């Protein structure tokens, strides 16, 4: 095998990607069945028994062009128009090129001529033959099809209807040939068009098959061998070439955005004719595009209309790349082109593309994010190293362009952590619908895109906790928008499995404290570890106005267009400053306890989720990012409380063993949710929290010591002198529950001679 570096091929633009596939297909089908191709970075490599000179000779002398015919399109070369002045049928340029190809005597054109004959007979069998001299005058300017010579003609009186008639005739006659397999999909009552082929082989005024005829004529018939060979060398190895096609003949359409022409396509004055095209580039491009065969699909269990599905083709999503914007979300969607790093034969490539209509579980992929997840679950098992994303986007005001949208790198192994994303399956489409609603706020659109970006990143880097934390932060940001009344119809973040904790754990004090904060409740069942009255006991209601009967929904008031969020007095967290939210939540719990005649702080730690004294010391020292901690905590409130007691994730202890200030110990012990281990109760005084929030730590400590002495705990602490900022941190630190073991250790620290020693 000889390995050839084809520098003329590249993952971008789409024309150069398809060119690589076209070269591999033609060599494997017509020259060397053992040929292999693969991507090495941005270069395509071809392994074959043929030398480079032999490859050149093959394409110049023996290559048999694929008969890509689209007689259903008006500019396909099959049509003529009636010239009323000259009283004769006028042939188009496209028709002249097609006639030139089918009139050649060389063996290489036989398949082309045979398919053309079948197509003409198929079309002629379904259209009515008429005498041109008897056509009404108003019909004589219409498109007419001439099967052979100047013989009988067939009027196209109803363009759309006749287009469908011709497509059905082609479906019966040659559905396994050329363009039909990839550009047209029979969906029963109608036909669908995969975006790769525009509207069935044309994009606006550009008919791909007609351009194909013209370029074949240029490369293999009209041009001298030296010129054509120069074009071929340039197509394969980017060597300089002369006499490239310009103006209208050089237009490529959506496949080569840089060659589409237009006022902004060149420096200085420009026009839609400022293009350059190598005929071999266009030929190889379409020869590669036919590998992407399409089929009809209908999503099971829905009433969604059938659509044409092509390999790795999904709806558009303006996320996952740097320049993402809502304007990128064209109705024609996206297509991801696979980049494989190991030598692959043509049959293997065909199988790969056939498998490209991916699924997530029992669901067909609908959007790029779905496709990314499906791909990541396969890892590199299919040999794909990355995908080049393309969006079919209207960018020049007239037609669509295949715009590169960045590269998705396939993880090198299958990570079980990605199963966590299944928890969002039903919720993400609802959120996306809300964000794409015409009345959606800009903030909702922005936060939804940030979440999508974070999800794309975590799929590619599933073993990096920082990526998972970015997802959690984005989820919290979504809920922060929802509580303002925008997008709440999607519902709050659904239940998350405990494995999210393992995936997002970076062993930071912020994450450990966030988990402790999120899972606390007023009380827990001793046997199961579940919160007593989960809805009321959980602190999530202090963040979101949840429906008490259906906690997976927001509480609302009104009906129809008058429906609004119903925020209660217990939703006190605003999602702005972490320190304020923490203090507000503690204050609300104290108020509710007082309303029930209770004299304790009803905030207990969940199983294996109590705050560590060392982390509390870090917090009180001002070394914890409280905004990040509370944001993570708000997202982690969605953790499944039923699963946590049995499937809890143990986090590692802090590496240092520092403890908080003894004065704060006194405050913490005066704000416990339960009696001391020996049964003594320390009654809570809400004034302690109020003094801390005002920045008065000295008075707060004095009140706390008074409560401790009443319970029989003597302390050497007499006074506290800290700044107002630290005092407010002391208040916020009360929002992170401690264990009974820690409380006992605090008592021993304050009063070594306490009877707690023997309790």
Of 256 and 667, more confident:
667
- Find the mean pLDDT for residues 107-125: 86
Please give the structure tokens belonging to residue 370: 């779905």
pLDDT of residue 220: 96
pLDDT at 644 over 90: yes
Give the per-residue pLDDT at 267: 39
Alpha-carbon span 191 to 177, nearest angstrom: 17
Note if the pTM is more than 0.95: no
For residue 94, tell me if it sits in a domain. Answer: yes
Asked whether residue 109 is domain-assigned, the answer is: yes
- pLDDT at residue 28, as a whole number: 98
Residues above pLDDT 70, as percent of the chain: 82
Identify whether the C-beta of residue 94 lies closer than 8 Å to the C-beta of residue 214: yes
Give the pLDDT confidence score for residue 326 in this predicted structure: 56
Mean pLDDT of 461-474: 97
Residue 350 lies in a domain: no
Judged against a pLDDT cut of 80, whether residue 707 lies above it is answered with yes
pLDDT tens digits, 327-359: 555 667 899 999 999 999 999 999 888 877 655
User: According to the model, what pLDDT value does residue 178 have?
Assistant: 60
pLDDT digits (tens, 9 = 90+) for 20-66: 999 999 999 999 999 999 999 999 999 999 999 999 999 999 999 99
Q: Which of 193, 224, 239 is the last residue of a domain?
A: 239
Q: Per-residue confidence at 731, pLDDT binned at 50, 70, 90?
A: very high
DSSP character at residue 496: B
Cα–Cα distance measured from residue 519 to residue 453, given in angstroms and rounded to the nearest whole number: 27
Residue 358: φ, ψ to 5°: -75, 165
Residue 403 belongs to a domain: no
- For 167-218, write each residue's pLDDT tens digit: 777 777 766 666 666 666 655 556 677 888 888 888 877 889 889 999 999 9
User: 161 vs 423, which has greater pLDDT?
Assistant: 423
Confidence of residue 161 (pLDDT cuts 50, 70, 90): low
Q: Which residues, 6+ apart, have CB-to-CB distance to 303 below 8 Å?
A: none
Domain boundary among 205, 239, 273: 239
Identify the weakest region by mean pLDDT among 135-139, 284-288, 451-455, 744-748: 135-139
Range of weakest confidence among 425-429, 431-435, 525-529, 583-587: 525-529
Out of 115-124, 360-369, 607-616, least confident range? 360-369
In the prediction, which pLDDT does 660 show? 93
pLDDT of residue 179: 62
pLDDT at 16 over 90: yes
- Structurally, how many domains does the chain consist of? 2
Q: Is the pLDDT of residue 416 over 80?
A: yes
Q: In this structure, is residue 428 part of a structural domain? A: no
H or E segment to which residue 664 belongs: helix 662-669
Looking at the chain, the whole-number percentage of residues with pLDDT higher than 90 is 55
The token pair at 209 is: 């098959």
Domain around 675 = 660-759
Instruction: Quickly count helices (H) and strands (E) in the chain.
Output: 26, 23
Q: Per-residue pLDDT averaged across 675-688, rounded?
A: 90
pLDDT bucket at 221, cuts 50 / 70 / 90: very high
Mean pLDDT computed over every residue of the chain: 85
Please check the confidence at residue 162 and state whether its pLDDT lies above 90.
Answer: no
Of 239, 267, 289, the domain-final residue: 239
- Tens digits of residue pLDDT in 293-321: 766 554 333 334 344 567 888 887 766 55
For residues 552 and 543, the answer to whether their CB atoms sit within 8 Å is no
Helix, strand, coil distribution of the chain in percent, nearest 5: 45, 15, 40
Is the pLDDT confidence value at 435 over 70?
yes
Q: Smallest Cα–Cα separation from 207: which of 26, 332, 68?
A: 68
| Residues 6 or more apart in contact with residue 543 via CB below 8 angstroms | 479, 483, 571, 573, 575, 581, 634, 637
pLDDT at position 412: 84
- Would you state the pLDDT for residue 258? 67
Residue at 75 is within a domain: yes
């Amino acid at each position: 095998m000889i390995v050839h570096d084809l520098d003329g091929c590249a993952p971008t633009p789409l024309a150069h990607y398809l060119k690589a596939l076209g070269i591999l297909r033609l060599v494997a089908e017509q020259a060397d069945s053992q040929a292999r191709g693969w991507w090495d970075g941005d270069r395509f490599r071809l392994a074959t028994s043929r030398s480079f000179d032999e490859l050149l000779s093959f394409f110049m002398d023996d290559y048999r062009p694929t008969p890509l015919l689209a007689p259903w399109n008006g500019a396909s070369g099959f049509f003529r128009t009636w010239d009323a002045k000259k009283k004769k049928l006028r042939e188009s340029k496209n028709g002249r090129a097609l006639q030139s190809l089918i009139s050649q005597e060389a063996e290489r054109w036989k398949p082309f001529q045979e398919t053309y004959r079948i197509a003409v007979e198929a079309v002629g069998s379904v259209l009515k033959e008429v005498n041109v001299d008897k056509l009404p005058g108003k019909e004589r300017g219409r498109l007419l099809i001439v099967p052979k010579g100047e013989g009988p003609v067939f009027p196209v009186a109803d363009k759309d209807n006749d287009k469908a008639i011709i497509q059905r005739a082609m479906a019966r006659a040659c559905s396994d040939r050329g363009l039909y397999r990839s550009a047209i999909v029979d969906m029963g009552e109608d036909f669908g068009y995969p975006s790769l082929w525009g509207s069935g082989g044309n994009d606006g005024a550009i008919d791909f098959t007609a351009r194909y005829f013209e370029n074949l004529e240029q490369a293999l018939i009209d041009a001298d061998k030296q010129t054509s060979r120069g074009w071929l060398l340039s197509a394969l190895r980017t060597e300089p070439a002369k006499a490239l096609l310009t103006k209208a003949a050089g237009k490529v359409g959506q496949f080569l955005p840089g060659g589409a022409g237009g006022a902004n396509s060149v420096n200085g004055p420009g026009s839609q004719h400022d293009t350059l095209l190598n005929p071999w580039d266009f030929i190889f491009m379409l020869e590669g595009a036919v590998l992407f065969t399409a089929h009809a699909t209908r999503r099971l269990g829905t009433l969604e209309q059938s659509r044409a599905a092509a390999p790795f083709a999904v709806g558009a999503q303006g996320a996952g790349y740097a320049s993402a914007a809502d304007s990128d979300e064209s109705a024609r969607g996206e297509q991801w082109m696979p980049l494989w790093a190991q030598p692959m034969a043509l049959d293997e490539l065909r199988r790969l593309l056939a498998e490209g209509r991916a699924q997530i579980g029992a669901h067909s992929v609908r959007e790029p994010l779905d496709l990314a997840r499906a791909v990541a679950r396969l890892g590199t098992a299919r040999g794909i190293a990355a995908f080049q994303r393309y969006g079919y986007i209207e960018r020049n005001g007239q037609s669509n362009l295949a715009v590169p949208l960045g590269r998705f790198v396939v993880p090198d192994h299958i990570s079980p952590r990605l199963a966590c994303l299944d928890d969002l399956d039903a919720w993400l489409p609802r959120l996306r619908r809300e964000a794409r609603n015409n009345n959606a706020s800009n903030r909702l659109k922005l936060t939804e895109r940030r979440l999508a970006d974070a999800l794309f990143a975590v799929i590619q880097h599933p073993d990096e906790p920082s990526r998972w934390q970015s997802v959690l932060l984005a989820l919290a940001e979504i809920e922060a928008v929802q509580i303002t009344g925008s997008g709440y119809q999607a519902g709050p973040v659904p239940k998350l499995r405990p494995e999210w904790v393992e995936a997002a754990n970076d062993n930071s004090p912020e994450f450990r404290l966030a988990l402790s904060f999120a899972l606390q409740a007023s009380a827990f069942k001793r046997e199961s570890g579940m919160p007593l009255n989960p809805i009321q006991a959980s602190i999530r209601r202090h963040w979101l106005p949840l429906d008490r009967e259906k906690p997976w929904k927001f509480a609302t008031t009104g009906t129809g267009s008058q429906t609004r969020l119903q925020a209660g007095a217990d939703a006190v967290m605003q999602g702005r400053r972490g320190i304020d939210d923490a203090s507000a939540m503690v204050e609300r719990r104290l108020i509710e306890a007082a309303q029930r005649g209770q004299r304790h702080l009803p905030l207990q730690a969940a199983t294996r989720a109590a705050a560590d004294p060392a982390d509390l010391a870090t917090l009180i020292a001002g070394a914890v990012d409280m905004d990040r901690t509370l944001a993570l905590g708000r997202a982690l409130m969605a953790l499944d409380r039923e699963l946590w007691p049995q499937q809890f994730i143990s986090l590692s202890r802090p590496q240092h063993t520092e403890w908080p200030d003894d004065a704060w110990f006194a405050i913490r012990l005066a704000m416990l949710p339960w009696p001391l281990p020996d049964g003594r109760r320390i009654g809570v005084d809400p004034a302690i929290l109020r003094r801390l929030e005002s920045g008065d730590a000295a008075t707060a400590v004095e009140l706390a010591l008074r409560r401790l002495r009443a319970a029989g705990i003597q302390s050497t602490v007499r006074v506290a002198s800290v700044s107002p900022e630290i005092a407010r941190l002391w208040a916020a630190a009360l929002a992170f529950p401690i264990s009974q073991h820690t409380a006992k250790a605090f008592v021993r620290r304050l009063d070594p001679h306490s009877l707690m020693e023997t309790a």
